[in-house]
Amino acid sequence: QVQLVESGGGLVESGGSLRLSCAASGFTFSDYVMSWVRQAPGKGLEYVSSISRGGGSQRYADGLKGRFTISRDNAKNTMYLYMTNLKPEDTAVYYCAKRRYSGVSYLGYSDSDYPERGQGTQVTVSS
């Protein structure tokens, strides 16, 4: 059974940093492209970033590259999102998501390609 458990969220002041983690189990982690998405209060899911199976390629939503860094440690079955220079508009619940099919290299995102997500971790950025 697929399990994705996010952690590392919290309350941080504007300009601060956080590192989120996503612990994965129940599947061969290194076989899947993984992504982060977020949901701000009252809004829909928003794509954040994706990382290739080996970790060598990354993709970011417009405006986030340079502030956010995605990484993964396949030996630990864990994915990370390091967020710097946080802004109030980054306030959201952050979810890690597993791509539907293994062996895929494409880093593009659509909700339908990522049917499994964790329970999320809340990030709140105060102004």
Instruction: State the residue for tokens 């990484």.
Output: 71
The pLDDT value recorded for residue 27 is 98
The pLDDT value recorded for residue 113 is 94
The pLDDT value recorded for residue 120 is 98
Please give the sequence-ordered ranges of beta strands (E in DSSP) within 1-127, or none if there are none.
3-7, 10-13, 18-25, 34-39, 45-51, 58-60, 68-73, 78-83, 92-98, 116-117, 121-126
Each residue's pLDDT expressed in tens, for the chain with a length of 127 residues:
999 999 999 999 999 999 999 999 999 999 999 999 999 999 999 999 999 999 999 999 998 989 999 999 999 999 999 999 999 999 999 999 999 999 989 999 999 999 999 999 999 999 9
The pLDDT value recorded for residue 59 is 97
* φ, ψ of residue 78 in degrees (nearest 5): -135, 140
